[in-house]
Amino acid sequence: MKLPAFFVIHAAHLCLLRIASLLVPFAQRAEWRREWSAEFSHICGSSSGRLSWQSQRCLTSFCLGAFHDALSVREFPIPLQDAFIAARASGRGSANRCLLLLSASLAAFVFFAWVLPGVHSVDEAARNSLRDGLVLIRHAGSDATISPAQYLAWKSRRQRYFDGLGFYRISGESSPTRNHRAWTVAHASFGFFALLGIPLDFPAAPASGHEAPMPSLILSHEAWIRDFRADPRASGSLIVVGSRIVRIAGVVPYGTWRLPGSPDAWLLESSDQLTSAGSGFVLAHLTDLGKSVMTGGEIAITDLYDGDELTGMAFTGRTENPWNVFTFALFLAVLALPAVTAVSMSESSFSSHRPPWNRRILRWFFLAAKVALVAGIAYFAAVDLAYARIPSDPGIAEFFQFIFSFTLCLFGLRWTLFDQRQRCPVCLRRVTHPAQVGLASHTFLGWNGTELMCIGGHTLLHVPALPTSWFATQRWMYLDNSWDFLFAAGSGAA
Amino acid sequence: MASEAKLSHTAALILQAIQSGSIYGFSIMELTGLPSGTVYPAMRRLESEDLIRSEWEKEPEPGTKKGPARKYYKLTAQGRATLQASRKRYPLLERLIPSREAKHV
């Protein structure tokens, strides 16, 4: 049953060669194709007796090499090729290249953070937190029981514990959305948002003369995203809510706070309009005296005129700054690092030779630069991932930011240490060409492990497969001039 | 002087493979273990520097089971001199791929 599959693969190979030939300049194409086709036929002929996946893989690899050849025929003049190959060879595994790649990644994530609207929202929320000392007043164990008249009575009296009061009640209204989905609208007193400490784009104008002021509506962040597709021009526009034309005075900034009723929009109303309807909630701002009598986030309130017993619950709306979340995740990652890798940079050398002090300092600088770049990448990548979209639940977004930050920091730092251990102490190039030395079954007779080589010809690195008492950590072997002949040919030579 | 030209180890290995009698691209790949994407561009380069020369085989007679004619490569005099110089720089070259003369000894 394999035979039809091999025919398909054979056709695919021929197709690859034909596509590769298109890269060759027209004048040389016929001969180039003839040579590759002849070689391909010869290989197929020699391997036809053994139609195996292994031989097909070899053929595929052969055909893919045709692209390199085609490009080399097409590519630049020889001196330019020399320069290109030399640059590529000298850059491979170098410290500069590593820092360049990390910097480029960091720049990409910073760019995404700059572009993504969710990241803007969380920054804004971190800046615009609610005022301290706010309490939500309600009757113990019940909701929305304070009448507008009671609120107005409190407001008209001199208060010792509060220096600001705001009222709102919840009602359902038809919305201006396409399907006229009912909105939960909070009818709030003027100055409600000033009490919260949230500035508005278009503050409600007080009544002037005979003209009634245009009612002001403040959209919740969720409604702005859901029903207005996060249109920044929504503020200032006129819409119909219920039976009234209102002006959108602003959008509540993204944040973790939620007032009871979870309104879609806030309609600011005068005291007269408020008294015409049912009970609601009162939000108050405590004076210093009020803050001093608050215990356990609660304050007991007694209405001396009505004899009502009420409770004031502390209302905070602080959105956690993404930087704080990140620093906590970084701290945990550093604590967890020893569980996933050896944090010690201990290593020994076969001889007493050590690189010059400036090289050693450079090596530590390189490590510090990598750690800083990896941390930066982890911060921005986590913020980008967690806030790629404007989150509907800020708590979940914070949680994901923490998880991403922790994971990226942990594995990023692990990679940083691993990479550092494999950098030649002399030129900071990554050692390459791993060769297995010794036999695992001879562990207690002789060392076995991996030998890696610095292509600059400075060092050999011996990493034991199984740490033993006589070979516990990796060892560097510094190569003297007698090794030069192995590395004499520049990588850029023919 | 071409004989003084510095060759990479790969290029020297390919010259040595041709010298040892592997004259087709694929046989050079087999002998050196290098992939086609390395061998063919290197051979084009060596050819452009007149270190090797390529020729086409004669087309096989119709009816014979032989495949299509293949291109084969030969060292030029300049290539032989360069290879000789390279052997001094890469002493293990001849041990990796013994030349024809060495094989017959």
A321-344 confidence digits (pLDDT tens): 788 899 999 999 999 999 988 877
**DSSP helix/strand/coil, B53:** strand
Let me know whether A276 and A327 are in one domain: no
Q: B55 — contact with chain A (CB < 8 Å)?
A: no
Please report the pLDDT score of residue A1 as a whole number: 46
Q: B60 — contact with chain A (CB < 8 Å)?
A: no
Q: Is residue A86 domain-resident? A: no
Q: What is the C-alpha to C-alpha distance for residues A153 and A137, in angstroms, rounded to an integer?
A: 15
Q: B72 — contact with chain A (CB < 8 Å)?
A: no
Let me know whether A71 and A111 are in one domain: no
Q: Is residue A99 domain-resident? A: yes
Q: A14 — contact with chain B (CB < 8 Å)?
A: no
Nearest chain A Cα to B92, which residue?
A486
Distance from CA of B20 to the nearest CA of A (A): 19
Let me know whether A52 and A193 are in one domain: no
- For chain B, which domains are there? 2-58+66-104 (1.10.10.10)
Residues of chain A in contact with residue B67, where contact means CB-CB under 8 angstroms, are 38, 41-42, 45
Let me know whether A158 and A306 are in one domain: yes
Q: What is the C-alpha to C-alpha distance for residues A69 and A83, in angstroms, rounded to an integer?
A: 18
pLDDT band at A78 (very low <50, low <70, confident <90, very high): low
Nearest to B70 among A39, A488, A490 (CB): A39
Number of Cβ atoms within 10 Å of the Cβ of B87: 17
Q: Is residue A244 domain-resident? A: yes
CB contact under 8 A, A491 and B91: no
Number of Cβ atoms within 10 Å of the Cβ of A351: 11
Please report the pLDDT score of residue A35 as a whole number: 92
Q: What is the C-alpha to C-alpha distance for residues A2 and A9, in angstroms, rounded to an integer?
A: 11
Nearest chain A Cα to B23, which residue?
A39
Nearest to A73 among B24, B35, B44 (CB): B44
- Extract the runs of DSSP E, i.e. beta strands, from A95-235: 134-139, 162-174, 182-189, 216-219
Nearest chain A Cα to B42, which residue?
A494
Let me know whether A397 and A361 are in one domain: yes
Let me know whether A156 and A295 are in one domain: yes
Let me know whether A291 and A168 are in one domain: yes
pLDDT band at A256 (very low <50, low <70, confident <90, very high): low
CB contact under 8 A, A64 and B8: no
Q: A35 — contact with chain B (CB < 8 Å)?
A: yes
| Interaxial angle between packed helices B36-48 and B9-19, expressed in degrees from 0 to 180 and rounded to the nearest 10 | 80
Distance from CA of A440 to the nearest CA of B (A): 26
Please report the pLDDT score of residue A181 as a whole number: 74
Q: What is the C-alpha to C-alpha distance for residues B73 and B54, in angstroms, rounded to an integer?
A: 4
A54-70 confidence digits (pLDDT tens): 788 888 889 998 988 88
Please report the pLDDT score of residue A336 as a whole number: 94
A27-42 confidence digits (pLDDT tens): 888 889 999 999 998 8
Last residue within a domain, chosen from A314, A331, A360: A314
- φ, ψ of residue A227 to 5 degrees: the values are -100, -20
Last residue within a domain, chosen from A397, A421, A445: A421
Q: B93 — contact with chain A (CB < 8 Å)?
A: no
Task: Give how many domains chain A has, as a whole number.
Answer: 4
Residues of chain A in contact with residue B49, where contact means CB-CB under 8 angstroms, are 494
Instruction: Find, among A450, A418, A428, A425, the residue nearest to A437 by Cα.
Output: A450
Q: Is residue A492 domain-resident? A: no
**DSSP helix/strand/coil, B19:** helix
Residue A90: C-alpha distances to residues A87, A453, A477, A488 (Å): 5, 15, 22, 14
Looking at this predicted complex, what is its ipTM?
0.90
Let me know whether A110 and A215 are in one domain: no
B30-82 confidence digits (pLDDT tens): 888 888 888 999 999 899 889 999 999 888 777 776 788 899 999 999 999 99
Q: Is residue A17 domain-resident? A: yes
- φ, ψ of residue A449 to 5 degrees: the values are 170, -155
DSSP secondary structure of A436-483: EES-GGGTTTS--EEEEE-TTSSEEEEEESS-BTTB-S-EEEE--GGG
**DSSP helix/strand/coil, A117:** helix
- φ, ψ of residue B34 to 5 degrees: the values are -85, 150
Let me know whether A162 and A287 are in one domain: yes
Residue A494 in tokens: 């023919």
Distance from CA of A494 to the nearest CA of B (A): 5
Q: Is residue A493 domain-resident? A: no
Q: Is residue A88 domain-resident? A: no
Q: Which residues contact A463 (CB under 8 A, 6 or more apart)?
A: A449, A450, A451, A452, A474
Q: Is residue A31 domain-resident? A: yes
Let me know whether A416 and A440 are in one domain: no
Residue A394 in tokens: 């800020």
Last residue within a domain, chosen from A402, A421, A440: A421
Instruction: Find, among A64, A39, A84, A81, the residue nearest to B48 by Cα.
Output: A81
pLDDT band at A146 (very low <50, low <70, confident <90, very high): confident
Residue A116 in tokens: 């993504």
Residues of chain B in contact with residue A494, where contact means CB-CB under 8 angstroms, are 5-8, 11, 42, 45-46, 49
Number of Cβ atoms within 10 Å of the Cβ of A467: 13
Let me know whether A264 and A165 are in one domain: yes
Domain range holding A220?
134-314
Secondary structure letter of residue A128 according to DSSP: S
Q: What is the C-alpha to C-alpha distance for residues A48 and A67, in angstroms, rounded to an integer?
A: 24
- φ, ψ of residue A348 to 5 degrees: the values are -125, 175
Q: A38 — contact with chain B (CB < 8 Å)?
A: yes
CB contact under 8 A, A43 and B7: no
Q: A61 — contact with chain B (CB < 8 Å)?
A: yes
A263-282 confidence digits (pLDDT tens): 888 888 877 777 667 778 88
Let me know whether A54 and A110 are in one domain: no
* Least confident among A422-431, A475-484, B31-40: A475-484
Residue to test with chain B: of A13, A31, A35, A433, most B Cβ within 10 A? A35
Please report the pLDDT score of residue A90 as a whole number: 58
Nearest to B8 among A69, A78, A491 (CB): A491
Q: What is the C-alpha to C-alpha distance for residues A242 and A175, in angstroms, rounded to an integer?
A: 7
Residues of chain A in contact with residue B46, where contact means CB-CB under 8 angstroms, are 494
Residue A157: C-alpha distances to residues A151, A289, A303, A304, B41 (Å): 10, 17, 11, 11, 93
pLDDT band at A471 (very low <50, low <70, confident <90, very high): confident
